[in-house]
Structure 1
Amino acid sequence: MNWTSDFWAHTPSEGSGGKPHDLRMHLLDTAERAQRYADAFGAGKLAYLLGIWHDLGKYNPEFQQYLRDAHAAKDKGEDLGRKGPPHAIWGATLLQSKLEQHPQRSTFTLPVLGHHAGLEDSGEGEQKIAAEPDFAERMAMMTEAIKAFSLYPAGDPEQVPGTQLKQELFTRMVTSAIVDADFLDTEFHFGEERPKAREHDLDIPALWERFGAGRERLLEQQRQSEKVIAAEVQAVRDGVYAECLKAATGKPGIYRLTVPTGGGKTLSGLAFALKHALHNELRRVIVAIPFTSIIDQNAQVYRDVLGADAVLEHHSAVQPKDNKAEKQDAYTLRLQLAAENWDVPLVCTTFVQLFESLFARKTSKLRKLHRVVRSVLVLDEVQTLPLELRGPTLDVLRTLVDDYGVSVVLCTATQPAFEADALTDAFKGLPQTEIVPQYPEHFEKLKRVEYSLHPQYPQPVPWEALALELKAEPQSLTILNTRRDALSLLRSLQAENAEHLFHLSTLMCGAHRKDVLNIINERLKQKTEVRLVSTQVVEAGVDLDFPVVYRALAPLDRIIQAAGRCNRNGNGAQKGRVVIFQTVSGKAPRGPYQQGIEKARTILETVKDIDLELNGTDILRRYFSDLYQDVPPDKPGVQSLRRQQEFRKVAQAYRLIEDDTVSVIVPYRDFRRALEQWQRFPSRKSWRALQPYVVSIYTHEARQLAQAHVIRELEDNIYLFEAQDGYDLLVGLPIDRDPADLIYMRGGSNVF
């Protein structure tokens, strides 16, 4: 055999001119790319070493025969129908034999072992390696491969962090660099998009240069529109923007951006992030948001300011199944390569995508993790982070700041008091810079609503009675705690012949939600009738401006956030009205959400002046401090599992949405064109085009709908909705439970 051409890493492809992917070159190219990625956090030598060894197992003659059989089957238009022999375990076995006495050997072996199938628990990984038959023969073959390919990684790799928790995150980061490098080199071979083409020409300096002109253009459009913004509201927005620019020259660390709803947080927060990244030579801005409804809106604002090519909007993910980890046919590899890697300077994503990646084991989630290094991480509506996971969440955020050059920006109108949490140490003693120090003055200036309890409170209001009230309100927003309650109210409004009804939930695809929001905002502007019934997805960050908001009893921060959709621009002749009521069902997510409701109930029933208290800023600090006492910071025991390097168990324990979800493509607008493009050539580019027509539902719901022939699985965890007239233009998918992205509190998903 000729060592440089007769050993394949992957089968021939059109992208390579019909040539196979040379194994030696794949190892070297992956190692060099992984080194560049890991240099950003001081682990370049280690990543290079592991990149060299990650696919050494493909030297095995049995694997080489498998690749040739797969290629022959493809030429005949057939699927070989089987996986190749395991290859990742060979390099891991060699590493473990060389590092037998090394106390942190799992950081070397697990990334190689799991570069396709994902990170194993440390003990299970070692057992898999130890159980390999023909150990001596395989070690001899690996040694032969290194000599044959002239691969002699020199020098000792960098020191692995000493503490268990830091080592655990470090192992994920190294794995991320290797996986992304491996996938990109493979994608280069298969060839729709060249890796260098995807490491964009745009960078932070280019985005900052665009920002000034884009902001002025957007403001001018607002001035030319019929949308009236009160002078005091505009004055606050201008003040917030000025303070953001001033604070942006600070050093990387923890920042808080506390702005009343309607205070211009979206645009000013972006200005801070871009200028801060520019000043500190950081690589990208990642804006993480709890709800896809806000992503739709924020990403559009960013595009309006910076251009459509500047923003990656990422909320739905391609998730190949574990049992395909060793398949090396072109189509399966393309599905794996379609996993997003955040290779752009501005990412707009969800809390689920961000935080579950920080605690993930699967390569589809881990791949993008190294891109977080030396970034500005903007956490919008940060108060929605699940309280039962705040211990591990805050610990990882602290480590990102301390060890990976990340700046974290906590953005909200209802700032949680993490530093006052008696049960969590991560943020204690950690300096937090208030970007807008005079935020209490802004809240005082922007008292645009009056809070009141419904006349029947604390007695529940029957749906029929509530429907009659809302029928008499030409423009109203009603927010319920569950989709089932929202559907009940909609049915009652329809029974009362109320007109111009609208609904929003995460069971509507993004393109649908965007259209509905455009119609609603146009009707609000024209002062024509519009009645919106929604789940909680609208209450934080969505740019709506109703004169009246009805809010079912909820945690206190949710009530205050809901008020941000009322008289948002301060342009009403009188203050907006926020009415708090109790539903007949009394349903709400259990766990911390329900505990938050009970805290809010106590406050509402004991304070002397509800309107005065809820329009202030002090009450939330008391509320969160009290709530933290009742909610354990790490109920599933994530930190203990992390200390033991139990990667599989950590991923199972750290879940923002308890049940697994899958993607359902729905028949909305011109979805067919995007679907056909995806089916012709699965890639990140075609998935991004399809994403606006995707809805996420629970796995068990997908099984039920598939059995009823309502949906059909196209690829791993990707379904097509096929029922005739089943996708409803009022409510979306015909399911009465709403995953609601992150409006999940552990243990409470069964009430949606």
Structure 2
Amino acid sequence: MAYYVLDAAGFESDDPLVGFLTVARHHGQLPDTADYVRKATAERDEGPLHRLFREDTFEQVANIDANESTVADALIDRSTGGEGSWEGFCEWLHEIHEQDRFTQIGKHVLGGRKLSFKESEQLSEEFYDGVLQTWSALVLADKTSARHLTSEVDLPSEMIYGSPTPRRTAIDAKVRTLQWDAKRSGVDDRTRSLNEKREQARREVRSRAEDFAESSDSVATLTLPTGLGKTLTGLDAGLTVLDRKAGDGRLVYALPFTSIIDQVATESESVFDVDRVDSDVLTVDHHLSETRVPLPGSPEEVPDDTRADAEAILGESWRSGMVVTTFVQLFESLAGPGNVQSMKLPSLYDSVVVLDEPQALPHRWWALVERLARLLVEEYDATVIAMTATQPKLFTGSEDDETAELVPDPERYYEGLDRVRFELGPSVEAALDGEPAPLDYDRAGQRLAEVASEGASVLSICNTIDSARELTQSVEQHANPLVVNDVYDRVLASEGGKPADISPELTVERALDGWDSDRPLLVHLTTRHRPVDRKHLIDVAIELTEHELPVVFVSTQLIEAGVDVSFDRVFRDFAPLDSIVQAAGRCNRSFDRETGLVTTWVLEPPEGRERTPSAAVYDYGGDSLTKIAALALAEVYDGDPMDEYTVTRSAVESYFGKLNERGVGNPEYLKHIKKADAETLGRLSLIDEPPSVEVIVTRTREEKIHIDELRDAYREYDWETVEAKTELLKPLQVSVPMYGSDDEELFAHCSPIDERDDRLHIDARQARFDDYFDATEGVVTPDDSVEARLL
């Protein structure tokens, strides 16, 4: 009927097919268009699609004709502006059935009498865009309507179609408060100068954003060095553009890593004086968050689970005024969304999308991301702002096709910086000459110990979990440090309760109680630590560095971007230039010391590995990102430490230029868009991960009680409690990649949650799990013989 109505109403080209697919799949996921249409309209088999479109259809039409033909006629008459009718539809359906003309639908994607698929000529360039828009709108309307009909909870139309956005003036008020606090407490000249630069940048960007909002442009870049307040400036720019746009759009702030989302969300809560849990202004959406928008004023007799379900629908459909989310949630929802994922797409109309650190997007996705940005701009009337210190050539098709830059003359902000110098270790100097000479972990650990012994705070970022583990062990041998991870473990044991209730100040206090100033403090952090523990240990590191204590922090890349922590020295295993610059953003971040030093080295393969960690992570598929980085560095390196501008501007621009020359982005992804292969697009992932084992680690008595209650809920078929406890336990869950067919046997002695729940449980308090969990290293495997574990 959808096909007939659109055809009768005068819609042309692919529009009737868009309607056909939208209605046919609004309870499921969009399919690969050609295969689906072929099976539904052309093939003469007895499969489910044949029965649905060839047999069930006529039974349903006969039933409507006998019982509700008047209603059907009124609906068609209104939908077609009087050009169609129920009688006309029945005649049309009978005609195409008699003449076997279902193929006229198929011919929109299938060409020729044999109905063989043609690569590109049957579908229009914007066909997939139209399918996404109409399908997602119908899914949202269907689910919200069903919610109203099946419960006493009424979803207010103002929440479904609009929402309050944060007030930009709140940022001005926050800045005035910060300025007053700084003036009252007193700051040194360097800090005062930095604050002045931050405020100058914010005001200049606001002025540019106002002009940009009035222009015909819809994509802009915002390029500022790390440490110059990009988060506040980006929020200000986004809200400035949003204020100038007509409509009910919202601010969508997307980041690459869940590890830094809470930091942005917490800052937003402070600036806008809202609570992400109890406000319809701010929603946080990632795989560890409870994504919901509170529902005002439903009757008291409405059950809590019914209300919670309605609030989850509002959260999943991004109905709040501001959404802080990940690139995964944003771009995978645009590319090939599942049914629930699609509900957020209607919220993108008239919105402003801020992409924080877009260079972190996987290179294979770059061409697709540019295409999806065009979808946002052209079909949703959205605005995109790409914000970073190392701006990739992501939204520029050529030298003559530059996007608008919201920072007037970014060079001024880079040229005036003198926070760090970049030092290339001998192992990197050898790599520039094409002859890598990796540094062994014994010497690397000794070097970190020596720097810390001089009273400095040190961050060392490794490329793999194995590498970080081996370097940490080397530091322990050479420095005899106080391991803060162990202190935190003792605090958990003594305090009990929830880790979220333990302040980082308490862990620091306990660490200093047993600390001898002749030895450094050591923190080790990787994705093998629980999310709740990662957040705590990062907060502890911030406290330690602010107290100017000698701390060695050994981590994988998860600390590299967005974390507001500042070390005296940073050591970075060799990586693409944008990663090296991001790591440098954790060194002398706020000009709170004399010039910092960032050392880049090439670490050797960990024990049992054949490739260096830098090659294992960044050199794949015929492309060597480290070689491109080496070529760019070779152009500016003269043997002495390099200043910040030389690396962050000159070398980085050369790096991205060379990257573009070699071609970035998988062209097959664009073909999937052209062919409207939604199911295939839905299988793409921004995170290229192998199969994994999901492990929940409990470290306190209260956490173990939640596991027991979850198991009881499964036994009692109490699905409401199962859902609530599953959400509650997410911060305790670690994903461990499995690379070999026998790897799962490594966890054979761990307890499963339930036969219906494939997650495993480790109780760290019990001795029988000692082989699986270590306070310093996190989740470990008894036989660590698999391939290198990545971030």
Q: TM-score, normalised by structure 2?
A: 0.70
What SS class does the counterpart of residue 488 from structure 1 fall into? Answer: helix
CA–CA separation in structure 1 for the residues paired with 2:129 and 2:399? 21
CA apart distance, 1:502: 1.7
Shift of 1:167: 1.8
Structure 2 counterpart of 1:652, from 680, 683, 699: 683
- Displacement, 1:148? 7.5
Distance in 1 of aligned mates of 2:187 and 2:730: 31
Q: 1:226 to 1:112 in 2, by over 3 A?
A: farther
Match of 1:681 in 2: 720
Instruction: Map 1:154-233 onto structure 2 (within 5 A).
Output: 154-156=78-80, 164-188=124-148, 191=151, 194-196=154-156, 199=159, 203-204=163-164, 206-217=166-177, 230-233=191-194
Measured in 2, the distance between the counterparts of 1:579 and 1:611 equals 11
Once the 2 structures are TM-superposed, how far is the Cα of residue 414 of structure 1 from its aligned partner? 0.3
Instruction: Assess, with a 3 A threshold, how the Cα gap between structure 1 residues 392 and 206 changes in structure 2: closer, same or farther.
Output: closer
In the other structure, the counterpart of 1:304 is 270
Q: Is the 8 A contact 1:555 1:593 kept in 2?
A: no
Q: Does 1:396 align with 2:382?
A: no
Tell me by how many angstroms 1:347 deviates: 0.9
Q: Please show how residues 185-584 of structure 1 align to structure 2 within 5 Å.
A: 185-188=145-148, 191=151, 194-196=154-156, 199=159, 203-204=163-164, 206-217=166-177, 230-249=191-210, 250-251=212-213, 253-281=218-246, 283-306=249-272, 307-308=274-275, 309=279, 310-316=281-287, 340-418=316-394, 425=397, 432-457=403-428, 458=430, 459-474=437-452, 475-496=457-478, 497-499=480-482, 500-572=521-593, 574-584=594-604
Write out aligned runs for 1:98-117 (5 A): 103-117=14-28
1:288, 1:348 within 8 Å by CA — same for their partners in 2? yes
Do 2:283 and 2:324's aligned partners in 1 also have CA atoms closer than 8 Å? yes
Q: Paired residue for 1:630?
A: 662
For residues 347 and 187 of structure 1, the distance between their equivalents in structure 2, rounded to whole angstroms, comes to 23
Q: Is the 8 A contact 2:166 2:321 kept in 1?
A: no
Deviation at 1:344, TM superposition (A): 1.0
Equivalent-residue separation in structure 1 for 2:749 and 2:650 (angstroms): 53
In structure 1, what is the Cα distance between the partners aligned to 2:136 and 2:563? 33
- Could you tell me which amino acid in structure 1 is paired with residue 200 of structure 2? G
Tell whether the 8 Å contact from 1:96 to 1:105 is kept in structure 2 after alignment: yes
* CA distance, structure 2, for counterparts of residue 695 and residue 223 of structure 1: 44
Provide the C-alpha distance between the structure 2 equivalents of 1:137 and 1:749, rounded to a whole number of angstroms: 58
Distance verdict in 2 for CA 1:476–1:305, change over 3 Å: same
Q: Is 2:776 aligned against 1:730?
A: yes
Aligned to 2:698: 667
- State the Cα distance separating 1:647 from its structure 2 match: 0.9
User: Is the partner of 1:230 in helix, strand or coil?
Assistant: helix
Q: Is the 8 Å Cα contact of residues 448 and 570 (structure 1) preserved in structure 2? A: yes
Structure 1 contact 483–736 (Cα < 8 Å) conserved? no
Q: C-alpha separation between the residues in 2 aligned to 1:728 and 1:149?
A: 67
Q: Which amino acid aligns with 2:19?
A: F
Q: Distance in 2 between matches of 1:513 and 1:521?
A: 12
| Amino acid paired to 1:596 | L
Shifted more, 214-223 versus 590-599: the winner is 214-223
Q: Which moved more, 1:550-559 or 1:174-183?
A: 174-183
Return closer, same or farther for 1:285/1:671 CA change in 2, 3 Å cut-off: farther
2:748 alignment counterpart: 708
| Shift, 1:362, TM fit | 1.4
- 1:447 partner letter: D
- Distance across 1 between alignment mates of 2:737 and 2:65: 46
1:230-266 C-alpha deviation (Å, 9 max, x unpaired): 2332122111111122123232611111010101101
Q: Mean alpha-carbon deviation: is it higher for 644-653 or for 401-410?
A: 644-653
What code does the residue aligned with 1:181 have? Answer: A
| Distance apart, 1:177 and its partner CA | 1.8
| 1:688-699 equivalent positions in 2, closer than 5 A | 692-696=731-735
Query: Aligned pair in 2 of structure 1 residues 472, 143: CA closer, same or farther (>3 Å)?
Result: farther
Worse-matched range after superposition: 605-614 or 468-477: 605-614
Q: Amino acid of the residue matched to residue 114 of structure 1?
A: R
Distance 2:646 2:469 in 1: 29
One-letter code of the match for 1:272? A
Letter in 1 for 2:720: F
State the partner residue of 1:141: 63
Give the SS at the match of 2:386: strand
* Contact persistence 1:510–1:693 (CA under 8 A): yes
Change in 2 beyond 3 A, CA 1:544/1:713: same
Cα distance, 1:400 vs structure 2? 1.3
Counterpart of 1:130?
50
Rounded Cα–Cα distance in structure 2 between residues aligned with 1:441 and 1:167? 44
- CA 1:349–1:659: 2 relative to 1, 3 Å: farther
Query: Which amino acid is the alignment partner of residue 62 of structure 2?
Result: A
Range with greater deviation from structure 2 (710-719 or 409-418): 710-719
Give 1:152 deviation, angstroms.
1.1
Give distance in 2, aligned partners of 1:201 and 1:105. Answer: 26
* Pair 1:611 & 2:642 matched: yes
- Count of aligned residue pairs for this structure pair: 635
CA contact (8 A) 2:160 2:319 kept: yes
User: One-letter code of the match for 1:681?
Assistant: E
Task: Please say which of residues 694-703 and 383-392 is displaced more in the overlay.
Answer: 694-703
Q: Given that residues 115 and 363 in structure 1 are in contact (C-alpha distance below 8 angstroms), is that contact kept between their aligned partners in structure 2?
A: yes
Aligned mates of 2:66, 2:719 — CA distance in 1: 41
| Structure 2 unaligned regions, length at least 5 | 41-48, 82-107, 109-121, 291-304, 431-436, 483-520, 606-611, 766-771
Tell whether the 8 Å contact from 1:217 to 1:305 is kept in structure 2 after alignment. no
1:155-201 Cα deviation digits (max 9, x unpaired): 349xx9x9734221221122222222333334445659653399289
Cα distance in 2 for partners of 1:94, 1:712 equals 53
Higher Rg: 2
How far is the alpha carbon of 1:117 from its aligned partner? 2.7
**Deviation of the 1:430 alpha carbon:** 5.0
Shifted more, 527-536 versus 502-511: the winner is: 502-511
Compared with structure 1, are the counterparts of its residues 208 and 231 closer, same or farther at alpha carbon in structure 2 (3 Å cutoff)? closer
Matched residue of 1:450: which SS?
Answer: strand
- Aligned-residue CA RMSD (Å): 4.3
Q: Mind listing any 5+ residue stretches in structure 1 that lack a counterpart?
A: 1-48, 51-91, 320-328, 739-747
Amino acid at match of 1:207: R
User: What percent identity do the matched residue pairs reach?
Assistant: 25
Q: Which moved more, 1:673-682 or 1:285-294?
A: 673-682
In structure 1, what residue type is equivalent to 2:413? Answer: H
Are 1:552 and 1:583, in contact at CA under 8 Å, matched by a contact in 2?
yes
Q: Is the 8 A contact 1:316 1:663 kept in 2?
A: no
Counterpart Cα distance in 2 of 1:176 and 1:413: 35
Structure 1 residue 473: Cα displacement = 2.6
Inter-partner Cα distance in structure 1 for 2:180 and 2:694: 39
For the residues of structure 1 that align with 2:174 and 2:160, how far apart are their CA atoms?
20
